[in-house]
A and B are shown apart, each in its own frame.
Chain A
């Protein structure tokens, strides 16, 4: 059953749940309705026996009256009346019934039937004797019939009284019970509705999970796609520039240096192309920065002085890839490129509580407070042909927020024009397991 339910679509599950609960309520309703109708029918039937007995008594009186009339007058009309009334009385007798199994009632009814049979026998005999002018006989038969008639009336009276008493008792009981039945019906419908609501809640609770799961997976995919998309914004022009420089180097010197250069280039681009894991380590990020600086120094004849101060135990700290190189790149492009004095970039990695402080400082032109705010808010414009418009930092900021699930990872400080700039990141320390849990938690389940 569970397997069958799991295979159903969301729509079919909802429909099935509604069908089951509707059938349940309908069946109970039908049962209640049917039985209440029976009780009402019984109430309507209650005094039927009294009505029947009254009709029987009237029928009997008609027979006696027509018998007496015929014996008095010997008129053919009276004789026809007698036979017709006797027939009618016979039919009323046959239709007489008393519900229930009370023996006293049954015996009274039986007595009435048997006495009536005897009465009609005497009456028929009296009529025959009268027609045959047998005076003594019809007088005796009439006396017997009259005696039996009196006895039948007494029994009818007794039975009527008994039935009336029983019927009244039953009626009072029925009325009292009817109130209970109404109350019970309300209680049953209320509790059944509650059961149905709970059942629907249980069924739909299970239905919602797959939908939510899909939503969360979609979110994760979107985040992953966003990450990849943002990473893909890093401009590939640098690749071509560095390759050209490498070619010049190879011509000027022996292959050794050229080889090193190209090797470093390969490593650089390998890292970039091979990325997409969305996470890397500080060690690899710093290695990328080293390659980048090397390449730059080759391009710019070693004019960039790059210093690193890193604590060894922090090199395994995880962070999004392609974070440090764009920051250093910005320091190079925005900070020290056009200065007259030797440009210096300092990369430091230190532990700060449960986090790692990664700082990239330059002694370049510095940034105004407005510019800092603009860059941090992502308001800086994008120019794909120039890497000097803060696009890289916007990319880095977005990816850091996505990775860590919080903002204010990055801070930019600068004393102002000519005072250099420091971009620092405060990265929470996470192991790979914690990172996987974070991702899967965000992916749902």
Chain B
């Protein structure tokens, strides 16, 4: 019996010792860096947009990053988390000096942007424009929506919700923009109205929203709601910021119901405003598809030396009815 007890004690203490040593080893490994492993990426792409805090482009970047990881590519959000503020053009130069393998950029039609894109392409760095194009540059591809189609969709939504009555349609645009996309959207709206033969009933205007200065957008839109006794029947916002400012102004000035707002992008605030009937509808671009397409376009160009010049992105209008359907189907009606 005594012998059995000694054996049992040996086994018990030995097991405790081994368990303690195993835990010790695991603990040491957890605090020591893994010298053998290293981050291995085959390529490094730069992702550049005008406003790094824009949640739309943050969602696009997230998709781009995931698509990049799947392909062994690191997609860097240039300019984010840096102490200084950089313009897109400056970031383009930084990306070139950092010897990235490709650039995905929210471009514009400015001469400086075209110059930067051309310089990058000349230096052997392919460029894909995303969301908005720089048609005068030598960029390899453009990934985005057809702005004319977007304009048509806005026009159709306006016609659907206005019923038999016409009215003023106000398109909030950025002032001094040389971008033609706003004009193309405007043209799309106008043509859609005209095709119904109701051009007499509707008037389409554009208003410059001063979003180039801090808090300028909110000031401009608030001014509109303060100034005008009769608001336009339909207000079309072409970006997330203007959409948010517009529906908030309706609430603040207690003028909900006086104007239908057609916005751009979906986030929790805009969707909530749609459910409450403050925003009539919003144009939603599939940010996941946008981000992935941008990375895939660069991958394709780098591997094959060729890529489609235009890669369209899906766009759809979301209103209260759509949300209800998606909610009943159990879909997540949150931010894409």
User: Which A residues are closer than 8 A to B by beta carbons?
Assistant: 28, 31-32, 35, 38-39, 42, 99-103, 105-107, 110-111, 114-115, 117-119, 144, 147-148, 150-151, 154-155, 157-158, 170, 173-174, 177, 180-181, 184-185, 187-188, 191-192, 194-195, 198-199, 201-202, 205
Contacts and interface: CB of A to CB of B under 8 A. Distances in A.
A31 B17 CA distance: 13
Contacts of A106: 38-39, 41
Interface in B116-162: none
A42 B21 contact: no
Interface in B73-119: 74, 76, 81-84, 86, 90, 93-94, 97-99
Given A177-B27, A194-B9, A184 B99 contact: no
Contact of B28 (A39, A102, A154, A188): A39
B84 to A, nearest CB: 5
The SS class assigned to the B binding surface is helix
Contacts of B98: 110-111, 114-115, 118
The SS class assigned to the A binding surface is helix
Nearest to A105: B39
Interface string B1-24: 001001101100110110011011
Interface string B23-56: 1110110111111011101001000000000000
A89 B93 CA distance: 22
Nearest to B29: A35
Contacts of B84: 150, 154
Given A38-B32, A101-B34, 14 more contacts: A42-B32, A110-B44, A111-B76, A111-B98, A158-B83, A177-B27, A187-B16, A192-B13, A195-B10, A198-B9, A198-B10, A202-B3, A202-B6, A202-B10
Contact of B23 (A155, A184, A205): A184
A333 to B, nearest CB: 56
Contacts of A117: 99
B321 to A, nearest CB: 42
B24 A181 contact: yes
B13 A181 contact: no
A185 B31 CA distance: 16
Given A184-B23, A195-B14, A195-B17, A35 B31 contact: no
A177 B34 CA distance: 17
29 contacts: A35-B25, A35-B28, A38-B28, A39-B32, A99-B33, A101-B38, A105-B39, A106-B39, A107-B39, A107-B41, A107-B74, A107-B76, A110-B98, A148-B94, A151-B86, A170-B31, A174-B31, A181-B28, A184-B23, A188-B21, A188-B24, A191-B14, A191-B20, A192-B17, A194-B13, A195-B14, A198-B6, A198-B10, A202-B10
A101 B24 contact: no
Interface of B: 3, 6-7, 9-10, 13-14, 16-17, 20-21, 23-25, 27-28, 30-35, 37-39, 41, 44, 74, 76, 81-84, 86, 90, 93-94, 97-99
Q: What 9 pairs across the A-B complex have the smallest Cβ distances?
A: A118-B97, A99-B33, A103-B39, A106-B39, A101-B37, A191-B17, A114-B99, A154-B82, A195-B13
Given A42-B32, A158-B82, A191 B74 contact: no
A148 B84 CA distance: 13
Nearest to B6: A202
Contacts of A103: 39, 41, 74
Nearest to B81: A158
A151 B39 contact: no
B20 to A, nearest CB: 5
A148 B28 contact: no
B68 to A, nearest CB: 10
Contacts of A38: 28, 32
A119 B98 CA distance: 10
A23 to B, nearest CB: 15
Nearest to A154: B82
B30 A177 contact: yes
A184 B97 contact: no
A114 B44 CA distance: 12
Nearest to A184: B24
Nearest to A194: B13
Nearest to B35: A99
A236 to B, nearest CB: 53
B94 A151 contact: yes
A114 B97 contact: yes
A169 to B, nearest CB: 11
A305 to B, nearest CB: 62
Contact of A100 (B9, B34, B86, B90): B34
Contact of B21 (A28, A101, A110, A174): A28
Contacts of B7: 202
Contacts of B90: 147
B39 to A, nearest CB: 4
A401 B186 CA distance: 130
A154 B97 CA distance: 14
B82 A155 contact: yes
A184 B20 contact: yes
Nearest to B36: A101
A177 B31 contact: yes
Nearest to A109: B39
Contacts of A154: 82-84
A184 B6 CA distance: 24
Nearest to B84: A154
Contacts of A32: 24
Given A177-B31, A195-B13, A201-B6, A102 B39 contact: yes
A119 B94 CA distance: 11
A115 B76 CA distance: 15
A67 B7 CA distance: 78
Contacts of A35: 24-25, 28
Contacts of B37: 101
A101 B94 CA distance: 24
Contacts of B44: 107, 110
Nearest to A202: B6
B265 to A, nearest CB: 27
A205 B28 CA distance: 39
B94 A115 contact: yes
A110 B82 CA distance: 16
A187 B27 CA distance: 15
B13 A191 contact: yes
Contacts of A99: 33, 35
Contacts of B86: 151
A351 to B, nearest CB: 41
A205 B6 contact: yes
Contacts of A180: 27
Contacts of A105: 39
